[in-house]
Every structure is written in C-alpha cells, then in structure tokens.
Amino acid sequence: MSEFFKAELKDKFLEYAHGRDDYFEVQLLYDEFLRPNYSLQYVEKLLREIIDHDHNLLDIMSGNGVKIFMLSSTAYTEEFLEEGGFKDLYIEEEERWDIFLEQLSNTRRLSSEEKADLGRTEKAIYKRERLLLFGLIGAVTCSFLFTVYSLLKPLFLKTEVSRIVEIEQKLEAMEHQNKGLRQELDSVLQLYEKKIPQ
C-alpha cells in the first residue's frame, strides 16, 4: 500500500471520528473502509501511527483485551483536518524531497577542461610534496649514517699512532706490575734468608 493511500485512510478515519458525537469501536472503521481486503490489525496499525504523530488527535479507550478498542474525536481533530490532515503532510514532505533532489541535480558539474586542469594541479602539488618527502627522508638517512660512522670509527679505524700509544701504555703497566712483583719477591727472599741459618 502506498504512503499516499495510507495518509488518505488516516484522514478518512479522522473524518469518520469527527462526524460522530460518541465513542465507537475500531471494528466500525474496519467494516466501513477496509473490509474484506485488509485485516483488523492493519486498522490498529494505522491508528497507532495517528497516535504516534499526535496523541491529541483521538481519544482512545482500551477494552476486551486490546489497547485500542473505542475511539472518539477530540477538539483538535477538526483543526488538524482543516489544516489539510495527513494528505497535506505527505504532499509537503514529497515536495521537500523534490526540491532537495532538484537542488542536488542543479549543482554545477565540472567540464572536461576543468577536470583536466584540476588533475594537473593536483599532480603538481603531489609531485612537490613527494620531492619534499624524499628530501626529508634523505636528510634523516644521511644523519643516521653519519652518527653510526662516528660511533663505530673509534672501534675499527684506529690510527697507527693510537695503536703504538696504546701498546706503550700496556707495556708500562706490565713493567710497573713486574717491579711490584720483583719487590715482593725480594722481600720474601730476604725473609727466607733470615729464617734459614747459614
């Protein structure tokens, strides 16, 4: 069922309720408008949609185990129908969508020349950005390699002078140790000679 037909049915329900001065059963709406092609549950669904839109449109009483059993119009029902009812709401909504879609379709499209120019400018921007990025990566790489070289140079690239100085320092340290050992050995020998009688 189309939305327009549903809007029309809701308006007919409200007109029927407005035309009566008393409460009436939902079954009467079903018998009057939708029998035998639709079910009573469909009538209740449409009534719930009316209530969801504005609970002041109908006065509802429950009974016989159902929430919507008896209905009556309210003072606001006539005012709502005079303003156009659900049909006008539906038409206004459709017109809004039509205007919106028309505005979307009226947005100016780029010509093929503008698209080509746009592509060229984007490529130029990307080319410049790519060049700057590679330059930055190159500078960081050079800096890293220089740092590694500076750290490893003393370990592997010692000059001969520094090697000779290092060897001399080691020899001096060994001589100093030997002197210390000789002195200890001499003192031990002297003690030993004193203890052994001749």
Greater model confidence, 154 or 140: 140
* Amino acid (1-letter code) at residue 72: S
Highest mean pLDDT among 2-6, 14-18, 37-41, 139-143: 139-143
Burial label for 82, CB within 10 Å (0-12, 13-18, 19+), is exposed
| Stronger pLDDT, 1 or 133, i.e. the higher one | 133
Checking if the pLDDT of 41 tops 80, the result is yes
For residue 196, pLDDT beyond 70:
no
Question: Please, which pLDDT band fits residue 37 given cuts at 50, 70 and 90?
Answer: confident
Q: How confident is the model at residue 156 (pLDDT cuts 50, 70, 90)?
A: low
- Give the torsion through C-alpha atoms of 141, 144, 148, 149, to 10 deg: 60
d(CA 1, CA 5): 7
Split at pLDDT 50, 70, 90, the class of 137 is very high
- Whether residue 14 has pLDDT greater than 60: yes
If you count them, how many residues does the chain have?
A: 198
pLDDT in tens, 92-134: 788 887 777 777 766 666 667 776 676 677 777 788 888 888 9
Q: What's the confidence (pLDDT) of residue 109? A: 67
- Output the pLDDT for position 15: 83
Q: Listing from the earlier edge strand, what are the strands of the sheet with 24-25?
A: 24-25, 66-73, 58-63
- What confidence score (pLDDT) does residue 161 get? 66
Out of 43-57, 66-80, 109-123, which region has the weakest mean confidence (pLDDT)? 109-123
User: Closest Cα to residue 59, out of 17, 5, 115, 95?
Assistant: 17
Q: What is the CA radius of gyration of the chain?
A: 51
Sign of CA dihedral 10, 28, 63, 58: positive
Inter-residue contact 58 to 50 (CB < 8 Å): yes
Residue found by looking up tokens 């400018």 in the block: 121
40 contact partners, CB below 8 Å, separation of at least 6:
26, 27, 30
pTM as predicted: 0.45
24 phi/psi in degrees, rounded to 5: -140, 160
What is the Cα–Cα distance from 151 to 133, expressed in whole angstroms? 27
Give the number of other CB atoms < 10 A from CB of residue 68. 19
Residue 14, phi then psi, degrees to nearest 5: -65, -40
Residue 107: its pLDDT value, please? 62
Instruction: With cut-offs at 50, 70 and 90, classify the pLDDT of residue 11.
Output: confident
